[in-house]
Amino acid sequence: MLPSELKTERFSGYPPQARRIATSRIALFQSLPLAFLPLLLRELIAYDWKFPAERRELDNQLAYLGGLTPDQLAAVMAPFAKLQLSQGLEQVDWVNTPGLFSEQLTAHLWATHQIDSFRTAAVEYVHKVNAASSPPELPVARLSMVMVGAGVDRNAYPLFRKLRGQGVYFTNVNPANGRNVLLNLAVARAAAHPEPFAHWYIDGERTEPSGTPLTCLSYGALETVRDALVKKMRAVAQPGGGGPEVLRTMLAQMRPEDLGMDGSGEAAVLNRFQVSILTEGSGTQLFSTTFVQWSAREALRRAQPLTLLARFAPRQREQSMKDLLAGIARTPAPDPEGSLVDADMGAYYTWINQQRLAGAEHSVFLAWFENHNEALAISPALPRGKTDGTAIDLRGLVQKLGAA
């Protein structure tokens, strides 16, 4: 089927909000090329489970396309329309399985040496969409806080080297009650700016603050879900189980219900996000540091929160992925020192991902060596590339950031 043959009844299997949008845009969809429309539908089919920021971006994209004249739309879509596609791609049920179509399209473009043309077209299209809409006005500067080094008594590893040039490296921080100070700050911001999924707490252990307005994730709380997923992965990875391609397809199609989670109602958005963390990230099922880093990355990319507090905890000592998936029994032992190195890099990546969001020039960032006296602060109110040995506690440091 080609887009020009599309009928509203083909969207009967979409979730309610996605179906409503699709049927209202049927004329637009009929005018889009096959190399483009299924990729748009891949985002739309999950509309009901997207975060508000994601919905806003998709709404803006549809508004941009819908506001073009026929000639303008044809010009914008021309680079996609020029791509040569196979009849096999036309036969894929790209309305209901746009993800499968995307995989097959990618393979086809590589095989026919058209991938560079597609990438160029995609980049140009994104620039046009972004130019047509204004970023949302933020009620407060974004704040990301990262806690590293839980369980480490002594450390010789030079922390925050990649971040020191961006802010102030504090070497005489009083750590007393520091964790509560940062958590209370996140809670206070959430109470002052109560928006859905705008304030997050991600922890590498089981600790989750109860009764707060924060969106909370933790590695420990997902233990049964992770175990269920690893068992499914192990079954496919074993000889005769299907191999890597089957495993990839299984992970891409995984739903919360498949892992014993609630996939409906208000819980669906967060539970689907958690499933995506465990199925799309490499090692998120097995290593708490990887889980925290990937969760922070995806929360920033997708939810675009105003506040993010991420706490790294000790992961188990590394085994080969082959042994872990095979279930080879070894007594798990924590590796606080190795986890600190992971977390230090995770803090750097978290800052990079925050800088990719709107309002980056006003954003604030803090990384703290938990229960120790080292911290790194980045803020428009602070100089860059400085070291400060003045005695200060976490409350004073937060005040210097101007992050309240």
Q: What is the DSSP secondary-structure string of 257-315? A: GGGT---STTHHHHHHHHHHHHHHSSSTTT-HHHHHHHHHHHIIIII--SEEEEE--PP
pLDDT for residue 323: 64
pLDDT at 58 over 70: yes
114 — pLDDT class (breaks 50, 70, 90): very high
pLDDT for residue 249: 80
60 — pLDDT class (breaks 50, 70, 90): very high
Closest CA to 277 of 304, 260, 301: 301
Mean pLDDT of the chain, nearest integer:
92
The pTM of the full predicted model, rounded to 2 decimals, is 0.90
The lowest-confidence range among 264-268, 291-295, 309-313, 346-350 is: 264-268
Taking the C-alpha atoms of residue 60 and residue 83, their distance in angstroms, rounded to an integer, is 25
Average pLDDT over residues 136-152: 94
Distances in whole angstroms, Cα of residue 275 to Cα of each of 197, 258, 278, 295, 349: 17, 10, 5, 11, 22
402 — pLDDT class (breaks 50, 70, 90): confident
319 — pLDDT class (breaks 50, 70, 90): low
Parallel, antiparallel, or unpaired for β 168-170 and 375-378?
antiparallel
Q: Spell out the domain ranges in the chain.
A: 3-131, 143-401
Radius of gyration of the chain (CA): 23
Distances in whole angstroms, Cα of residue 43 to Cα of each of 48, 59, 102, 249: 10, 11, 11, 18
The lowest-confidence range among 63-67, 144-148, 256-260, 263-267 is: 263-267
Taking the C-alpha atoms of residue 229 and residue 216, their distance in angstroms, rounded to an integer, is 21
pLDDT at 136 over 90: no
pLDDT for residue 100: 87
236 — pLDDT class (breaks 50, 70, 90): confident
Average pLDDT over residues 261-278: 89
Per the CB < 8 A criterion, the answer to whether 175 and 372 are in contact is yes
DSSP 9: G
Distances in whole angstroms, Cα of residue 348 to Cα of each of 198, 236, 251, 354, 377: 21, 35, 28, 10, 12
Taking the C-alpha atoms of residue 400 and residue 404, their distance in angstroms, rounded to an integer, is 10
pLDDT for residue 178: 94
